[in-house]
Amino acid sequence: MADLPENRKEQADEFFILGLTSEGRQFRPSDWADRLCGVMSGFRPAGSGGRHAHLGYSPYVRPAIKNGVKAVQVAHALKDLEPLAYHFVLNFAKDNDLQVIEGGAENQA
């Protein structure tokens, strides 16, 4: 489920990892999205913290609710910024058999 199409030109700029397995079971623990986004919080654009930096989620990997389900929103831009981080989140989804859907108006919560 975690594989994304290579040709994304006509697709959204983001995708969502849903807290549902491929069989539709809810993923546990319940704070999985916050934990994953916390691990990725270091991937922030230059100038987003400055001298008065604060801990916050990366704009590239954020917790979300998608179609009424806890999810993680991932920007495809992360792939160009830090390919290892991008593959880390995709592998997390794949290793845990989580559903991955492309973002876009038809998928909005």
Q: What are the structural domain ranges in the chain? A: 14-45+57-107
- How confident is the model over 13-36, as a mean pLDDT? 94
Mean pLDDT of 29-45: 84
- The arithmetic mean of pLDDT across residues 15-38, rounded, is 94
Nearest to 70 by CA among 18, 28, 34, 108: 18
Contact 17, 97 (CB under 8 A): no
Contact 27, 19 (CB under 8 A): yes
Per-residue pLDDT for 9 more than 50?
A: no
Asked if residue 101 has pLDDT above 80, the reply is yes
Q: Does domain 14-45+57-107 have CATH number 3.65.10.10?
A: no
Q: C-alpha dihedral over 9, 83, 45, 62, to 10 degrees?
A: 80
